[in-house]
A = this chain, B = another copy of it.
Amino acid sequence: MPKPSAINHAMQKYGEYLTRHGLKSTVQREIIVNEFLRTKGHLSADELHSRLRVSHSSIGLATVYRTLKILAEAGLAHERRFKDGYSRYEYTGPDGMHHDHIVCVGCGQVEEFENKEIETLQRQEAEKRHFKMLDHKFEIYGICRQCQERGGE
């Protein structure tokens, strides 16, 4: 679970985004955003909705989708699409720092890593082409150690 200070920072950024875009703050959004921010990992809309169902059964899946979209536009969530057909969202901390992913195509587990050098190189590539870089996605697909040992087809 992220540090409280990080969550506060995020809530503030989220609030600013709402105001700046003439959007309203509602209880549902508050609940969704809170749960999202304090959940580690890659959440699909459906998973997030299930989590909320326990304590807030009346919140609709559509609202979860709509709120996740807002979070992504506000720069608080990164949308990732691995290979299971779902869009997954991930909160990546107050400094906008994000890690990359290494996905096992055998069992579906996702590990994360950060690599400063890669980060630097990609920034250079963007500059070389006069792109203002906004986001990036880096995923390695492979077979994890367990799946290799388990033997595969």
Enumerate chain A interface residues (CB-CB to B < 8 A): 81, 102, 104-105, 111, 113, 115, 117-118, 121-122, 125-126, 129-145, 148
A92 CB, min distance to chain B CBs, angstroms:
14
| Copies of this chain, count | 2
Q: Out of B81, B130, B144, name the residue touching A129 (CB < 8 Å).
A: B144
**Contact of B138 with A142 in the complex, beta carbons under 8 Å:** no
Q: Out of B130, B131, B139, name the residue touching A136 (CB < 8 Å).
A: B139
Q: Do A104 and B131 form a contact, CB below 8 Å, given A139-B136, A140-B136?
A: yes
**Contact of B134 with A143 in the complex, beta carbons under 8 Å:** yes
**Contact of B111 with A115 in the complex, beta carbons under 8 Å:** no
Most buried by B among A125, A130, A131: A131
**Contact of A140 with B117 in the complex, beta carbons under 8 Å:** no
